[in-house]
Amino acid sequence: MTTGQPIDSHVHMDKVPEIDKFFKGAIKAEASDLHLKVGMPPIMRISSKLKKTTAEIMTEQRIEELVFEIMSPKQKQFFMENGALDFAYQVGPSDRFRINAFRQRNFVSMSARRISSKIPPFEKLHLPPVIEKISEGTHDGLVLVVGPTGSGKSTTIASMIDYINRNRAAHIVTIEDPLEFLHVDQKSIVSQREIGIDATNYEDALRSLMRQDPDIVLIGEMRDRETLTAAMRAAETGHLVFGTLHANNAAQTIQRILDLFPQEERELARSTFALTIRAIISQQLLPGIRPDVTRVPAVEVLIRTPIVRKLISDERESDIPTAIRAGVGEGMIDYTSSLCRLVEEEYIDLKVAMDYAPNVEELKMAMKGIRTTSSGIL
């Protein structure tokens, strides 16, 4: 049995920490998160749902024993002074947790995110074939995966990075907070930098990025103007840059990105974005009806074609949905056709499709085999 170890400390442990049994239970249950709170049994998040375990009810003393045992003296001191602490913890050779210990109502609580080394391939994620084509055929520019919280953005992007890692010789540098998946070097070499452990902040990590000779860069989240500017600069200079953003679709993504810039910089930002963007993949996770597929993504895919580039340059984001519908031959997919496919292949119920449809009437017509298209932008 391998003793768990905090990643960023020098704690020496002569015995296996008691908390390991809870972490191993989370691994076995394929939970994404583990929560410890006074007055409750340990709680796991499995398939996006919180579930109580049958383990003991946590007391204040018990949680403190479990959590403090895996902290270094320096970490414990920081926690006592600040009331919260982030650190990483290893269980065995391949399982890792990103832990946040915090005080609530003056009690110690813990939330731990499981970081998996098992990265599912595209087919396991039920992603359309165009995602593989984007991963395979794109060697520079900006590829964004967008969606609301919990929509599977990190998993999709990890699968794309894994595909490149298995098929292309490149240096991949990831900058994440926290690390979501652990990549093992294959054809590529993968350098993963975690904010708070390997770099102080995104700004510092991005400042040193070009000195690390990257071919491909993953920026965990496009949080601000500085991050996006650095991403576009890297994309302009021949690098392939992946990133995530909270947005519901491609048109909203473009608007949100431009909104990060002050008015006087927006025109330059727009032209740079139109030049560097290669694809925007928007997705939502929907409840599935197959016993073996509990969640499945509905996907919208925008590919940067000459028409799309012109629409972005001409401030015509409102025409992007029409461009997507007209760009099926280029590999583009709109949400309506994605929902239709999921219903037809019996992955989701028709009611779920209607609930998530951006345009219910269009979905109804599409389900009858009638698609509305427009050539007004061509």
pLDDT at 370: 59
pLDDT at 377 over 60: no
pLDDT at 210 over 80: yes
Residue 228's pLDDT band, with cuts at 50, 70 and 90, is very high
User: Which position has the token pair 């905090």?
Assistant: 6
Residue 86's pLDDT band, with cuts at 50, 70 and 90, is confident
- Determine the angle formed by the axes of helices 263-276 and 250-259, rounding to 10 degrees: 140
Tell me how far apart the alpha carbons of residues 88 and 196 are, in angstroms, rounded to a whole number.
Answer: 10
Residue 368's pLDDT band, with cuts at 50, 70 and 90, is confident
> Which region holds residue 213: left if phi is over 0, alpha if psi is between -120 and 50, else beta?
left
Closest CA to 288 of 53, 52, 48: 48
pLDDT at 317 over 60: yes
Higher-scoring residue by pLDDT: 164, 74? 164
Lowest mean pLDDT among 4-8, 155-159, 268-272: 4-8
Residue 51's pLDDT band, with cuts at 50, 70 and 90, is very high
Closest CA to 206 of 237, 227, 222, 220: 227
pLDDT at 14: 61
pLDDT at 182 over 90: no
pLDDT at 82: 94
pLDDT at 101 over 50: yes
pTM: 0.82
User: Which residues have CB under 8 Å from 258's CB, separation 6+?
Assistant: 266, 269, 270, 273
Looking at the DSSP bridge assignments, the partners of residue 173 are: 191, 217
Cβ distance 233 to 302 under 8 Å?
A: no
Enter the tokens of residue 75: 């970490």
Closest CA to 20 of 91, 68, 113: 91
Cβ distance 173 to 209 under 8 Å?
A: yes
pLDDT at 372: 54
Closest CA to 31 of 16, 7, 51, 5: 51
Mean pLDDT, the chain, rounded, equals 90
Cβ distance 70 to 64 under 8 Å?
A: no
pLDDT at 378: 43
Beta strands in the chain (DSSP E): 5-6, 33-36, 43-46, 49-52, 84-91, 95-104, 107-115, 141-146, 171-176, 189-194, 216-219, 240-245, 277-290, 293-303
Mean pLDDT of 332-361: 95
User: Which residues have CB under 8 Å from 91's CB, separation 6+?
Assistant: 2, 4, 20, 23, 24, 27, 97
Tell me how far apart the alpha carbons of residues 248 and 57 are, in angstroms, rounded to a whole number.
Answer: 39
pLDDT at 376 over 70: no
Cβ distance 132 to 229 under 8 Å?
A: no
Mean pLDDT of 239-266: 96
User: Which position has the token pair 């015509």?
Assistant: 316
Pairing mode of beta strands 43-46, 33-36: antiparallel
Enter the tokens of residue 14: 């002569």
Cβ distance 136 to 235 under 8 Å?
A: no
Cβ distance 217 to 242 under 8 Å?
A: yes
pLDDT at 3: 40
98-114 burial string, b = 16+ CB within 10 Å, else e?
bbebbeeeeebbbbbbb
Residue type at position 163: Y
Residue 262's pLDDT band, with cuts at 50, 70 and 90, is very high
Pairing mode of beta strands 240-245, 216-219: parallel
pLDDT at 177: 81
pLDDT at 371: 59
Domains detected in the chain? 5-115 (3.30.450.90), 122-367 (3.40.50.300)
pLDDT at 11: 47
Classify burial at 9, counting beta carbons within 10 Å of its beta carbon; exposed 0-12, middle 13-18, buried 19 or more. middle
Residue-wise pLDDT tens digits, 134-158: 999 899 999 999 999 889 898 999 9
pLDDT at 353 over 90: yes
SS3 219: strand
Taking the CB of residue 262, how many other CB atoms lie within 10 A of it? Answer: 9
